[in-house]
Amino acid sequence: MTTPTPRWRKSSYSSTIQNCVELAHAGTDVWMRDSKHPHQGHLTFTRAELAALVAAAKAGELDDMA
């Protein structure tokens, strides 16, 4: 059985900016990769993990990591 090629997408807010991440559905998981280096691999998240990451970023909990 072959794995379908993921359809990567980035936020419409990114416009032509290359400093962003791209997401793709991968079965029940979501893949995330750096748009500047798409061939260097990806991170895998469950939907719940990705939701927690986005919530933490929105709440400013990751601001000290910059």
Q: Per-residue pLDDT tens for 2-41?
A: 666 889 998 777 766 667 889 999 989 999 998 888 899 9
The pTM assigned to this predicted structure is: 0.78
Smallest CA-to-CA distance from 7 within 27, 19, 23 is with 23
pLDDT of residue 10: 84
Residue 9: DSSP 8-state = B
pLDDT of residue 3: 64
pLDDT of residue 16: 67
Q: Please state, in angstroms and rounded to a whole number, the distance separating the CA atoms of residues 36 and 55.
A: 24
pLDDT of residue 2: 60
Q: Which residue has the higher pLDDT, 56 or 12?
A: 56
Write down the domain spans for the chain: 18-60
